[in-house]
């Protein structure tokens, strides 16, 4: 269960995050968005050994991301593969690169579907993938034949800057991408940095769930981080903000923000 993956998260959720959902994880810089996504997936996979996941990072290198997770006490799970497109971008030509197709193809390869060979009509994407050094299942003994069941994209902001389409076209592209995730029944967490307490965004309407992270002033000299579930289809949850902290073994939800 996803709600058991982070200590105290069951204080917010009465039910569980439904499998196959697309969940936006939004908030300001430094509010633990990426840590939450990696933490919830790594702990979920620790308890579900017949599944694995794919974490796509467009901003941080794999090493930087792993170092950050370790510093927060979050377990590193080999079955949660990191696809480091941040470093990959430094070695390729940006012209005509369809990053959404690149991500989809990487996911399809991990799913192990026959559709993978036909998932992109962009020849440059296929060639770049063929020659890329993206992490594969090499060295992950006994996991090569396990398809992915969960997926993370960090972040939409970086993807938008790479694609550079006008708003309406970008919305259509995102809808196609979310349809791809749903079709393949991937429980997905998508990071989106945005101003605190922004109530609506195009992405909110396309996703099944919205979890907001923020930073609030607890006293004159103290700042605290909080988590608030704004939306989650098909499950009961609290709408109240809850304090979230870094514990000895990852994140923990402490209690309601007063």
Angle 249-34-150 (CA atoms, 0-180°, nearest 5)? Answer: 90
96 dihedral zone (left: phi>0; alpha: psi -120 to 50; beta): left
The total number of residues written for the chain in this structure: 258
* pLDDT number for residue 201: 83
Tell me the CA distances in angstroms from 62 to 188, 193, 237, one per residue in order: 19, 20, 33
Q: Give yes or no for a contact between 243 and 257, defined as CB atoms under 8 angstroms apart.
A: yes
- Dist. CA 162–CA 142, nearest whole Å: 35
246 bridge partner residues: 251
Burial class (CB in 10 A: 0-12, 13-18, 19+), 166: exposed
- Dist. CA 148–CA 112, nearest whole Å: 8
83 bridge partner residues: 56
CATH architecture of 2-256: 3-Layer(aba) Sandwich (3.40)
Token reading at 1: 């269960």
* pLDDT number for residue 140: 52
Token reading at 108: 């399809």
Q: Give yes or no for a contact between 235 and 15, defined as CB atoms under 8 angstroms apart.
A: yes
Q: Give yes or no for a contact between 48 and 214, defined as CB atoms under 8 angstroms apart.
A: no
pLDDT tens sequence across 105-143: 889 888 764 344 344 444 444 444 444 334 444 545 556
215 bridge partner residues: 225
Alpha-carbon Rg for the chain, nearest whole angstrom, is 18
Q: What is the pLDDT along the chain (258 residues), one digit of tens a residue?
A: 999 999 999 999 999 999 999 999 999 999 999 999 999 999 999 999 999 999 999 989 999 999 999 999 999 999 999 998 877 766 665 556 788 888 998 898 887 643 443 444 444 444 444 443 344 445 455 566 788 999 999 999 999 988 877 777 888 899 999 999 999 999 999 999 998 877 778 899 999 999 999 999 888 889 999 999 999 999 999 999 999 999 999 999 999 998
- Dist. CA 234–CA 223, nearest whole Å: 33
Give φ, ψ of 217 to 5 degrees: -85, 115
* pLDDT number for residue 92: 62
* pLDDT number for residue 199: 73
Give φ, ψ of 34 to 5 degrees: -65, -40
């Amino acid at each position: 269960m996803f709600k058991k993956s982070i200590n105290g998260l069951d204080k917010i959720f009465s039910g569980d995050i439904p499998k196959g959902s697309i969940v936006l994880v939004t908030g300001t810089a430094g509010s633990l968005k990426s840590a939450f996504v990696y933490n919830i997936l790594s702990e979920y996979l620790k308890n579900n050994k017949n599944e694995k996941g794919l974490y796509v990072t467009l901003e941080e290198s794999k090493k930087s991301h792993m170092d950050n997770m370790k510093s927060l006490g979050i377990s590193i799970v080999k079955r949660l593969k990191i696809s480091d497109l941040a470093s990959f971008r430094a070695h390729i030509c940006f012209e005509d690169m369809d990053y959404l197709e690149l991500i989809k193809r990487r996911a399809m390869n991990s799913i192990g579907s026959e559709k993978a060979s036909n998932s992109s009509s962009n020849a440059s994407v296929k060639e770049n993938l063929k020659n890329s050094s993206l992490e594969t299942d090499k060295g992950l003994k006994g996991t090569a034949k396990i398809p992915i069941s969960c997926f993370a994209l960090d972040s939409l902001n970086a993807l938008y800057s790479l694609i550079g389409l006008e708003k309406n076209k970008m919305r259509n592209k995102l809808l196609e991408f979310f349809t791809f995730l749903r079709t393949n029944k991937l429980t997905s967490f998508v990071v989106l940095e945005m101003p605190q307490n922004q109530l609506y965004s195009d992405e909110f309407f396309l996703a099944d769930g919205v979890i907001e992270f923020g930073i609030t002033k607890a006293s004159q000299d103290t700042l605290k981080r909080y988590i608030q579930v704004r939306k989650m289809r098909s499950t009961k949850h609290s709408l109240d903000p809850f304090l979230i902290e870094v514990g000895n073994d990852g994140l923990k939800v402490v209690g309601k923000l007063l």
